[in-house]
Structure 1
Amino acid sequence: MNSRVHIEVPADSGFGPAHLPYCVFRPLGEAPRVGARLGDSIIDLAVALDDPMFAQPSLNAFMTQGPQCWREIRERVRVAADSELPATAVHSVRAVRLDLPVEIGDYVDFYASLDHATAMGRMLRPAGEPLLPNWRHLPVGYHGRAGTVVVSGTDIIRPQGQRRTDSGTPDFGPSRRLDIEAELGFIVGAGSELGRPIETDAFAEHVFGVALVNDWSARDIQAWEGQPLGPFLGKSFATTLSAWVTPLDALTEARIPLPPQHPEPLPYLRDDESWGLDIRVRIEWNGQLVSTPPFRRMYWSPAQMLAHMTVNGTSTRTGDLFASGTISGADRSERGSLMEMSWGGTEPIDLNGVQRTFLDDGDEVVITASAPAVGGGHLELGEVRGRIASA
């Protein structure tokens, strides 16, 4: 007779039945498959729902089914989570390996925080306007490198490249100004056709869920190479994605109005129900909390980012990832990068009694986040963790 178990979840858990984030996990000695987290357990969906669609090494086969299927499966998972499950369907989070949850198609990174863009502009162009003329008219972004998106917990090898010297000529070597960027990523589930832009009110028909992102940056390499075409080797070496994907439907309680936008955006960027997300991020550096960036202050909405990304007719694919850009607030305690926290290296951060600016080999950064949950309580959006390895 097969034994059955009921998963007990503390009332204050950030992984309660209102959340149920998805992941791809590997039990010891077994193949990867799709799971949903409840408390400190992972529910094997291929077993619990008796559905081979979840006996897959990524969420892509599920996501490509579209929003009606997403909602139906979420309800089935909720019912299963409230019931007794076959013991073979339940695994401890601590007893499995977590893999990259999606097979990444394309990766786009935005620059959607007014506070971050203003701070960077003041540092890089102290004698000029902090914002470039286009910034309030469109969500600025660039096309990143999908092949170097890695799952949380992957070591980050310090990148090498050209760095400008005091003489004005470059040398070559490991980055001396290695940085983080705390971001929120949005994962496309249902793709779109070439030549058909996605309107702002169609966002939920295409975006499956969200996950935390750390878009590592080599500031010295980026500063030398970035003109005139923008980021390249200073950004393409690694982007860390959380192992946990929070379904969009789990964040309905976190929706809030956008901050005012002036001037009014062009028609394709307007939305009768424009919304942001009340998500509070936490950044820990070698175990010390150094910042709590608020996503609620982001100037451009997720729907506006997707609308702008596709307005020229570009198609999207299942597994595409687009990220918000650095999440920052107005105060130093809310900045989402070390570049901002240390003001370009001129205002060191007290880290466990040592004055620091950028990342050293062996440093570990952990980014977490929380949001209000449907029915009260809160959601924990997992983590993105990375340790710096020498070049």
Structure 2
Amino acid sequence: MASSDRELTAPVDLCRPDGRLDPAAVGWSRRPLHRANLHGWGRTKRWEYWCVAAPTHLVALTVSDLDFLALNSVHVLRWDGPAGSTRPWETERTSLAPFGRGVALPEAIAGSKGSQGLGESGTDVVVGPERPTGGRVRVEILGEPGGTRLRARCVAPDGRPVEVDVFAALPDGHETLSVVVPWDERRFQYTSKHTARPARGTLRIGDETLAFGEADDAWAVLDHGRGRWPRKVHWNWGAASGRTDGRTLGLQFGGRWTVGTGTTENALCVDGRLTRIGEELSWSYDLADPLAPWTVRTPDSDRVDLVFTPFHDRRTRTEAGLLANRTDQCFGHYRGGVRAEDGSRIAVHDLFGWAEDVRMRW
């Protein structure tokens, strides 16, 4: 198989006509170039995950098709300040659709409308009823000039309506990390991770309205995934966005699931320019105490040397037949230093983001 360290610069299909991984698709790029032409079932997973964070609150939207089940969710987290000094408030609503009914995810990034050179394959995504009740949710991912419109509606478990309307900008020339992770020709994942996308909009919870981006301090992160997965998998994911040391910085870190594949999903986005990190990261944390500090480092260089201090653990434990999920998604702040592609060192001061440990059977 071709080296997965090569940089791709032209559009490419993910799969060959027989559904196996096309060796020409193996590599990484600074903008989305892959058409995820997956066919049928067979451990096929598709999802769009957006998280938009301001200094005191965030909202995360998920639309996913896992073959036998679709999960669409709205997650809201609030806290009082950067230190997370008071107990955060959290609500989440997830709608399940057996066999993915009503969920059709496109071959390219939802809402992209061809802005990344992929024609019109990145069509809009709309799931759920216009006015959801009970445990149902509505999520819209819509392409607009200059970025993506994110809208969502649901009713929180405490009975308050929740409405989201946010625009996640994609400035001209803003680079992102897209990469194919190949276990073999039948098991592979295409992921496109976007960090530090400026965001602006509102989150309404009952009669209260919370703003994103009034002081240019809100950021959107995208996890776009298409692939065919092993039955069981264990991964780390960390991300953060914001301004620090006079720079606009996005952190994109992964681990465990890429070991042995010849590639990583690690990168920095510095003032819109991507720094690719081709080495595996060293993650250190204690799941018996997930709110204790985590460390994330590049063991063979000084590219990444960070301590992540969480203040909240979004803890999920699911046993539902074919699906089992053990997730600790911890939210907090990164401190330390990173080194950009040009060799400059950037001091990281209280950059908000998350780090997670996920074990899936699906």
TM-score scaled by length of structure 2:
0.30
More helix by share: 1
Q: Which has the higher contact order (CA 8 A, sep 6+)?
A: 1
Higher Cα radius of gyration: 1
TM-score scaled by length of structure 1:
0.29
